[in-house]
Chains A and B, each alone.
Chain A
Amino acid sequence: MKQLLSGNAAVALGAYHGGIRVAAAYPGTPSTEILEHYAAYPGVYAEWSPNEKVALDTAIGAAYAGANAMSTMKHVGVNVAADALFYASMTGVPGSLVIITADDPGMHSSQNEQDNRNYAKFAKLPMLEPSDSQEAYDFVQQAMHLSHQFETPVFLRLTTRVCHSYTVVDVPEGEEALPPAPPAEPPRWCRDIPRYVMVPSNARRRHPAIEQRLKDLAEWAETADVNRIEPGDPAIGIITGGIAYEHAKEVLPGASYLKLGMSYPLPRHKILEFAASVDQVVVIEGLDPFWEEQVRLMGVDCQGKLDEELFPLWGEFSPDVVRAGLAQAGFVAPAAALPDVMSRLPDLPPRPPVLCPGCPHRGVFHVLKKLKLVVFGDIGCYSLGVTPPLSIIDTCGCMGAGIGQLHGAEKAGLADKAVAVIGDSTFFHTGMPALLNVAYNRGAELVIIMDNRTTAMTGHQEHPGTGRTLQREDTVSVDTAEMARAMGVRHVTVVDPYDLKATETAIREGLNADEPAAVVTLAPCALRVPRKPALVIDPERCNGCGLCLRVGCLAIYRVSEDEARIDPLLCTGCTVCQQVCARKAIKVVAE
């Protein structure tokens, strides 16, 4: 049956049909929906782990126990999981293990656009890469089989436009759609100490086996269906794969193609054979010249992004980008030169993502701004505190980074008063060891845990604090304040972030404490609680001073020099603006 599926939904369905039974992940755009779809299928185990490293160790353990397992994460999640990745490459797995990396070229929702094909080479692992949802469905199963055959973890690399594009998948029906039956007996541990205990003496013996495995995989790649030659015009031969293949086919459908479904290792003989069959070779790939460098090392004269600079090293590829590069080399006509309509318009006001009206983080940021603090930030909705007029986040690097940065800056003797802010899911992810370090190394520092009881930015996923698992079962609900105390922080305060006075007092006290301190600003995400009645501004009292506008709420707007108003459709009644108004002009509407 033909179904229109997103790449993420197709991976989930393929994994289920193929017999993957255990999956662990930490949410991260563009990968999040894979586990959400997968968890809904019967007979599978799926979990949100606290971070990607724990997720990957979990999947490795399942594969060690003989199961078909997968772990999914966004590209930067692989950095967190990299330690596990490298030992798993050394030991291999007796079951099967598919590691899904969802890269984000163009940085739609990420801090960088690292090209995780490099991880395949770095960790000496095979990597498959689909171009559309049908291949996403097929390749996750192919990756599972490859993992079995070569006893190795296998990467499946997706990119944002594969994850979040919907294309047709031919979905099996009836008995064909049923996953293979699970083993009748529970698995038994097969002790193999030289294989699974990577002490140096064993690891030294394993390394040559890993190198041989790569050679065997390169041999497999020579004849595998995933790498396919599509003969066409012999004047130009295009080597490409992933989403770049689709863009190239759109722009130059008649060329000869070598479509790489396996990004690493490359099929050397197939590439040489293809190059010999065409007049000129062009390599089309997003981000790094990963294939081009290898193809050139094979002695193939080609164009791409190293010398010819047909294509950029950064940004997301599109048919426009591919056309511009191919036109520069004279292979296609350039895009028709149309007059720029935008130039007829004044500069458009930007519309960046912003904190939602009623967001519990807003009041905290207002206080931090009032106290003129340096704010070490982190990854999550609260990174939106960087948007004007709040502009209150001074750093944002990676998950869990802010607390360590604050600690280092304080130890370096930073003269400014500073705090770190971190969300609850990020605290559980990698913030905990950093706070432990503050307590252990006697940092007289204040960490603010902005606890909204969900993983908000990625779409409200469960985590160890929510009391529910991914598969909707009740579980423990870990209290961030108790956790801080357990790690040795004695000065811990919990406040309601909608109470600006109490929040300010708690933050001042935390800053003045001559010991490690934590303030937990505790209130659920505004998108998950019923709204209160909207507030109104009394035009008689309002003098247009703009204090309320400075909290940066979309619901408040200026109508003139001496008047602001509140949009009743957007206002949630959170009262932050009411508390900052010096003229007491903001009131609750009488119902």
Chain B
Amino acid sequence: MDKVDFLVIGVGGQGTILASDVLALTGLALGYEVKKSETHGMSQRGGSVDSHVRWGSEVHSPLAEIGTVDYIISFEVLETARWVNYLRPGGTILINEHRIRPLMVGLGEAQYPSDEALLEAFRARADRVYLLPCLAAAQELGNVRTMNVVLLGALSELMGMEPDPWLQVIEQRVPARFVELNRRAFARGRELAQS
């Protein structure tokens, strides 16, 4: 692979930063040049957040261009839609099945789009769209915070990659007492992507 561009999408507070950290460090371990750009500040108060992660033989900008991203990894169903134009035709979208109501939807003044409408639109750009119950899997594992690692496990499978470089990075990045739990979360993600 000459280059791989990822966009990690979510809502402030969902823990997208750990996922983009692991993605960036895995790319480095695989020998790529890596750049990553993330959202801080106001948006972290429940707003939309995005991280660009870029692997390549040569990477200049920390931001990918519209229509060139290979993988969108989304922590929240609706948020995927705001960024779908960044995907290259034929790219892959991986979505955690979790819907967080924006305030206007809770007030009954706006509609949360239906899965059908969203998936139909995503498929107009993407070759592969996966809506996986990563949050539910993390809940089954007994710790919702492992949701991002379930998602990374699924991504590694969809990329056709071996688990080892990912797991090595995850082990460095999480506290020792959570290593075993995160290994299981990663394996669960791979299973979800296979099914």
Genuine A/B complex: yes
- A residues whose Cβ falls under 8 Å from a Cβ of B: 2, 4, 29-30, 32-33, 108-109, 132, 161, 164-168, 243, 246-247, 249-250, 253, 318-320, 323, 335-336, 338-342, 344-346, 348-356, 381, 384, 387-389, 457-459, 546, 549, 552, 554, 556-558, 567
Report if B168 contacts A (CB, 8 A).
Answer: no
In the docked arrangement, what's the CA distance between A33 and B41, Å?
11
Most buried by B among A32, A168, A253, A381: A168
Do A30 and B102 touch (CB < 8 A)? no
User: What A residues does B65 contact at CB under 8 A?
Assistant: 250, 318-320, 323, 335
A164 lies within 8 A of B38 (CB): yes
Q: How many residues on B have C-beta within 8 angstroms of the other chain's C-beta atoms?
A: 57
Query: B114 to chain A: closest CB distance in Å?
Result: 9
CA distance A115 to B28 in the complex (A): 34
Q: Whole-angstrom distance from the CB of A61 to the nearest CB of chain B? A: 30
- Select one of B34, B61, B124 contacting A339, CB under 8 A: B124
CB <8 Å contact, B45 and A381 = yes
Contact B36 A349 (CB under 8 A): no
Q: Please name the residue on chain A nearest to B53 by beta carbon.
A: A166
From the candidates B41, B45, B61, B124, name the one contacting A318 in the complex (CB within 8 A).
Answer: B61
Task: Chain A residues near B108: list those with CB within 8 A.
Answer: 546, 549, 557-558
The residue on B at minimum CB distance from A359 is: B45
Complex alpha-carbon distance, A249 and B62, angstroms: 11
Secondary structure call for the A interface: loop
Contact A349 B104 (CB under 8 A): yes
Provide the B106-122 mask, 1 if CB < 8 A to any CB of A, else 0. 11101111000110111
B25 is an interface residue with CB less than 8 A from chain A: yes
Q: A387 to B103, Cβ gap below 8 A?
A: yes
Cβ contacts B122-161/A at 8 Å (1 or 0 each): 1011000000000000000000000000000000000000
Please state if B85 and A342 are interface contacts (CB–CB under 8 Å): yes
| Sampled A-B contacts (21; CB under 8 Å) | A29-B40, A109-B41, A161-B37, A165-B36, A166-B35, A250-B65, A319-B65, A339-B124, A341-B121, A345-B113, A345-B117, A346-B117, A350-B102, A351-B11, A354-B46, A458-B41, A459-B44, A549-B106, A554-B106, A557-B101, A558-B106
Report B28-53 residues with CB < 8 Å from chain A CB. Answer: 28, 33-48
B42 touches A165 (CB 8 A): no
- Choose among B37, B78, B82 the residue with the greatest number of A CB atoms under 10 Å from its CB: B37
The minimal Cβ–Cβ distance linking A389 to chain B, given in whole angstroms, is 6
Contact between chains at B64 and A341 (CB < 8 Å): no
- B24 interface residue per 8 A CB criterion: yes
A4-B36, A166-B24 given; A351·B46 CB < 8 A? yes
Closest to B12 in A: A353
Our pick among B45, B67, B120 for the contact of A354 (Cβ within 8 Å) is: B45
CB distance from B80 to the nearest CB of A (A): 10
B163 within 8 A of A: no
Check: B105 CB closer than 8 A to any chain A CB: yes
A383 vs B24: C-alpha distance when bound (angstroms): 34
Partner of B42, one of A108, A253, A318: A108
Q: Answer yes or no: B84 CB below 8 A from chain A CBs.
A: yes
Q: A165-B36, A348-B82, A349-B104 are in contact. Are A319 and B63 (CB under 8 A)?
A: yes
Residues from chain A with Cβ under 8 Å of B117 in the complex: 344-346
A168 contact set on B, CB distance < 8 A: 28, 33-34
Q: Apart from A320-B65, A336-B67, A353-B45, what 8 extra A-B contacts exist at CB < 8 Å?
A: A164-B37, A246-B62, A335-B66, A342-B84, A345-B113, A346-B111, A349-B111, A549-B106
User: B81 at the A/B interface (Cβ < 8 Å)?
Assistant: yes
Report B-chain residues with C-beta under 8 Å of the C-beta of A556: 106
Bound CA span A108–B44, Å: 11
B133 to chain A, nearest CB (A): 16
CB closest residue in chain B, given A342: B85
Task: List, in ascending order, chain B residues with CB within 8 A of A558's CB.
Answer: 106-108
Q: Give every chain B residue within 8 A of A32 (Cβ-Cβ).
A: 40
A320–B86 Cα distance when bound, in Å, is 11
A residues in contact with B112, CB < 8 Å? 349
Contact of B39 among A164, A348, A567 (CB under 8 A): A164
Is B25 within 8 A of A342, CB to CB?
no
Residue of A nearest to B89 (CB): A338
B79 at the interface (CB under 8 A from A): yes
Minimum distance in angstroms from B96 CB to a CB of chain A: 15
Whether A554 pairs with B85 at a CB distance below 8 angstroms is: no
CB distance from A332 to the nearest CB of B (A): 11
**In the complex, which of the residues B101, B121, B122 contacts A554, with contact meaning CB atoms closer than 8 Å?**
B101
